[in-house]
Amino acid sequence: MRVGPWGRRIATAGEPGGATLVATAAPPTWVCEQCGAVLAYEPGAQTLVCRYCGHQNRIRTIERAPVENELDPILRRLPDEPRLPPPVPRQCGQCGYAFTLPSGRHAGACPSCGSPSVADPAALRAVAPDGVLPFVIAEPDGRRLVRQWLEGLWFAPSRLAKEARTGGKLEGLYVPHWTFDARSRSFYRGRRGDVYYETRWIEQVVNGRRVRQAVQVPKIRWTPVEGSLARDFDDVLVVAGDELPERLVERLEPWDLRGLKGYGPDYLAGFASELYKRSVAEAHEAAKAQMRTVIEQDAKIAIGGDQQIVERLDVTLSNETYKLVLLPVWVASFKFLGKDHRVLVNGRTGEVHGERPWSLWKILGAVLLGLLVLLGLFLASRAGSGGFDV
């Protein structure tokens, strides 16, 4: 089961969270108010600091209480959308160069001058992001974490770790996620199994004599059980993009979602950002499956005993809300034997997971070494017991 902020098993509703930030309209360019140099968001910063003159440029945000969106209205009215949004044409506000962002993205860099470019996601998809979790891990630290992960792999090709030390592509990408909150009330019916032991007498031959011995045989006593459960779910995450393998992105959890800011393009300046591909309706079904898995575990705990069987589980969800958030991921890409491999770093916690190749020669060498060790131990034991004729 995935690790996540599942909330807590309760009988009453939880308390609301604290404040967050919501951005004002985005400027067309990111330039220093004092010297006019191009700006980018520095991970962990609270302002846009100019690298040339040191001036701290304010991130255009205002503070307000967090907002969760009601789920039912959006499920009823949301139109069908193509899964893959069309490429986004842009014109650089710094150098005037016309270009197109990669398909499915709304933030990147101008190919001509490298200036940040962020398109309004609300004009491209039916649902705009509600929040963004800014990077706090800078690029040098991201490279160090990737290198340490690669160098620590068992049976990995030596060339892979060498490439990590000499460089390689590292991209900061905001990955869209849906989050879902819900209050659940459930009814379960099943059976509780309690282990007990019966004494049985068996006959065995011991030292040439037939004797009777007592043995303890385990049995299970099954008892019908039923009852009700209550749990509130908070921020059940579902990956909304498809650029990265979902299984790898999920392994970056948990995320410190208390650090969410209201969506603002300033946090995206200097990074790439992906538009959602998975609809809120599709993601809702995936979130319900996650919730049901947790509730099944609650039911087994409530049934108790040594073994549990859940025969019926009726789940009712209410007070359902959702939001769309952007979460920070450093993406390292390496090519080995013609195949691309990616390593992902949680841009907040530093958790690292990735795709890895295996070195056939190292594996064969380890197997051969193991066989030689076993052969040596066998020969030593035979020699010690006088098993060899001299």
Region for residue 77 given its phi and psi (left: phi exceeds 0; alpha: psi -120 to 50; beta: otherwise): alpha
The mean pLDDT value for 336-351 works out to 84
DSSP 371: H
Nearest C-alpha neighbor of 230 from the set 171, 295, 177, 170: 295
Predicted local confidence at residue 338, as pLDDT: 64
Q: Which residues pair with 186 in a beta bridge?
A: 229, 315
Q: Of 30, 16, 6, 135, whose CA–CA distance to 64 is shortest? A: 16
pTM for the predicted model, two decimal places: 0.79
Distance CA 198, CA 218 (A): 7
Tokens coding 110: 């101008």
Name the DSSP class of 60. Answer: -
Do β-strands 98-101 and 116-118 pair in parallel, antiparallel, or remain unpaired? Answer: unpaired
Q: How many CB atoms lie within 10 A of CB 249?
A: 20
Residue 117, classed as helix, strand or coil, is strand
pLDDT of residue 113: 86
Q: How does DSSP assign 142-169, residue by residue?
A: HHHHHHHHHHT-TT--HHHHHHHHH--E
Across 88-92, 168-172, 326-330, least confident range: 168-172
Each residue's pLDDT tens digit, 299-327? 999 999 999 999 999 999 999 999 999 99
In order of 78, 120, 261, 326, 358, the CA distances from 131 in angstroms are 20, 14, 5, 6, 39
223 CB-near residues (< 8 Å, 6+ apart) = 191, 192, 193, 194, 305
DSSP 8-state assignment for residue 124:
T
**What distance lies between CA 36 and its chain's CA centroid?**
38
The pLDDT of residue 387: 54
pLDDT (0 to 100) of residue 157: 55
Listed in sequence order, the residues at least 6 apart from 226 whose beta carbon sits closer than 8 Å to its beta carbon are 187, 188, 189, 190
Q: Where on the phi/psi map is residue 171: left (φ > 0), alpha (ψ -120 to 50), or beta? A: beta
Residue with tokens 């040439």: 208
Contact 370, 362 (CB under 8 A): no
Q: Which amino acid is at 353?
A: H
Q: What is the pLDDT of residue 118?
A: 92
Q: Name the 3-class secondary structure at 271.
A: coil
Average pLDDT on 165-185 reads: 88
pLDDT at position 159 = 61
The conformation of residue 46, written as its DSSP 8-state character, comes to: S
How far is the C-alpha of 216 from the C-alpha of 17, rounded, in Å?
55
Give residue-wise pLDDT tens across range 33-54. Answer: 888 778 888 888 888 877 778 7
Residue whose entry in the numeric block shows the structure tokens 């952007």:
326
Length of the chain (residues): 390
pLDDT higher for 100 or 48?
Answer: 100
Q: Say whether pLDDT at 286 is over 50.
A: yes
Nearest to 147 by CA among 128, 119, 166: 166
Give residue 57's pLDDT band: very low, low, confident or very high (50, 70, 90). Answer: confident
- Please name the amino acid found at residue 133: L
Sequence-ordered list of residues with C-beta below 8 angstroms from that of 367, at least 6 positions apart, any chain: none
Other CB atoms closer than 10 Å to residue 326's CB: what's the count?
29
The residue-averaged pLDDT of 83-102 equals 86
Residue 126 per-residue DSSP state: S
Q: What is the pLDDT of residues 229-255, one digit of tens each?
A: 999 999 999 999 999 999 999 999 999
Q: What are phi and psi of 75, to 5 degrees?
A: -70, -30
Using DSSP's 3-state secondary structure scheme, residue 1 falls into coil
